[in-house]
Amino acid sequence: MNRGYIKLWRKSKESSIFAHEGLWKLFCLCLMKAAYKEVEITISGLLKPVKLSPGQFIAGRDSLHFDYHQGDKRKKYSRKAAPTAITLYRWLLNLENMQILNINSCNKFSIITVVNWPQYQGDEQQKPLRTPENSKDGHSFNGKSTTSAKSEHLKKDKCIDISDSFNDTGLENEQQMNNRRTTDEHKEEVIKKEKETPFSSLKNKYDSILVDNVFRAIASTRKSGKVADSILLAQLRKWDRYPVEQVKTGIRVYLEKDYAGQGKREEYLLGIIRNQKPDEHETAQHPQQREITMDNIGELYEN
């Protein structure tokens, strides 16, 4: 089936992209996915169609990974196949830094533009090839005239199938373009799900203001002023081994003596909590029982 072609210039061998096998394959894929004329693509979840100019195409992280690894040709396609989707996105950014591509991202998809498309590709690269079925005299060997063949070709061009230009078969969600996420958004979504149950339940055992203050103090021990949520969750799980009042007392000591200002991190705080004696109020509520022996049993009856 004739789906057109692209021009591949010989001077591409002199480019640094040609020296990188994976980057070169990605660049060629971008050329093949790009539209050769102005089109309007209707995307599920959007009211207005997306207009694409020659040299532009719509792509998502997962769909690009699917096309790169020819997922439609393989019996077993894995999203973890190398290079991964994150690596491909990083390569796209490299091509953008080299001023070969322009990437316009939104929260649903990205519109990628091949720079200098008209200069290197032009408008004639998509003209139908002359075959025995399409001869000069207007007649074909299978009985169909050239004009009828051209009309059928135009009808096919008017009906644009997104699956041909942007093959998203590998996506599990029905709303293909609408539910695509960038790498950072995906990470935030995973962290949010992890925090919803264990993080909040463990944090609610203590004074929320006290915990927030100590988390800010721990974050101040980093150069970036930030601390990963996974580290905070690990600390909450370690605190859970000790009585609540003992943990709160240890946190107060850590904050009052400004150990964070001395560069002492969460490990030092855990040591303070571990060496802290249970609060006197808690001891009064749960007094230690006196061991009964043969020597003191008489004293117990006298009292």
- Within 8 A by CB and 6+ apart from 253, the residues are 272, 276
- Tell me the percentage of the chain whose pLDDT exceeds 90: 27
Q: What is the pLDDT of residue 129?
A: 45
Q: What is the pLDDT of residue 90?
A: 92
In the predicted model, is pLDDT for residue 205 greater than 60?
A: yes
Q: What is the value of pTM for the model shown?
A: 0.42
Mean pLDDT of the chain: 75
According to the per-residue pLDDT averaged within each range, which of 1-5, 158-162, 168-172 is highest? 1-5
CA dihedral sign of residues 249, 250, 251, 254: positive
Q: What is the pLDDT of residue 226?
A: 87
In the predicted model, is pLDDT for residue 101 greater than 50?
A: yes
What would the two tokens of residue 124 be?
């004639």
Burial of 196 (0-12, 13-18, 19+ CB in 10 A): exposed
Closest CA to 146 of 128, 159, 158: 128
CA distance 43 to 180: 12
Q: What is the pLDDT of residue 296?
A: 57
What is the arithmetic mean of pLDDT over 48-66? 91
What is the arithmetic mean of pLDDT over 91-103? 93
Least confident of 93-97, 178-182, 211-215, 220-224: 178-182
In the predicted model, is pLDDT for residue 28 greater than 90?
A: yes
According to the per-residue pLDDT averaged within each range, which of 73-82, 133-142, 183-192, 204-213 is highest? 204-213
